[in-house]
Amino acid sequence: MPEALRAAIRDVVDFPKPGIIFKDITPILADAKLFRQAISLLCETAGGSVIDKVVGIDARGFIFAAAVADRLGAGFIPIRKKGKLPWKTRQTAYSLEYGDSIVELHEDAIQPGESILLVDDLLATGGTAAAPLKLLDELGANVIGVSVLIELAFLDGRAKLKPHPVHTIITY
């Protein structure tokens, strides 16, 4: 059934800049059955582990991570681009397929030993997911895994996320 999800993803050529084929997931979000299926499959990647908190990556990751957190009975923690969080933060710099950025999370968002699932919409070069993993490792989190709806496997982003397990639903 991920084939129905795959069929709904819209390729947008040269967005946000020439040479990028942007994977538009908004048709999945707009379809109640497909959105629910996407959340169910992402929840299954937790493999039945008890998850204390689901960490979502700004901004499309929030959409999936918050729903997964609710379904798993876990809390939700946002990783945000620099300057958006109001409290004391930890931050790290990273580069992605089409630019550079700094991300941060609240320093008291995670307690040492808490079981964490990191969720995003898409894994490309891996920089976007590697940055939060660095912060989570520094905070002493027990990262159960990284769960992503779409993987651009030809970019081998998962190599950057070792040794954390990476689970993806749709691979290109």
Q: Which residues are catalytic?
A: 60, 97
Least distance from ligand AMP to the Cβ atom of residue 51, Å: 20
State how far Cα 74 lies from the chain centre: 15
Which one of 47-55, 77-85, 103-111, 114-122 is the stretch in contact with ligand AMP (CB under 6 A)?
114-122
- Residue in 123, 143, 146, 169 binding ligand AMP, rule: CB under 6 A: 123
Select 111 or 163, whichever has its Cβ closest to ligand AMP. Answer: 163
Which one of 44-52, 75-83, 115-123, 161-169 is the stretch in contact with ligand AMP (CB under 6 A)?
115-123
Least distance from ligand AMP to the Cβ atom of residue 111, Å: 26
- Assign 67 to helix, strand or coil: helix
Range 3-42, binding ligand AMP (CB under 6 A): 20-23
158 near 102, Cβ under 8 Å?
Answer: no
Range 131-170, binding ligand AMP (CB under 6 A): 157
Closest Cα partner for 91 from 73, 105, 101, 78? 105
Q: Radius of gyration (Cα) for the chain, nearest Å? A: 15
Q: Which residues bind ligand AMP (CB under 6 A)?
A: 20-23, 57, 60-61, 96-97, 120-128, 157
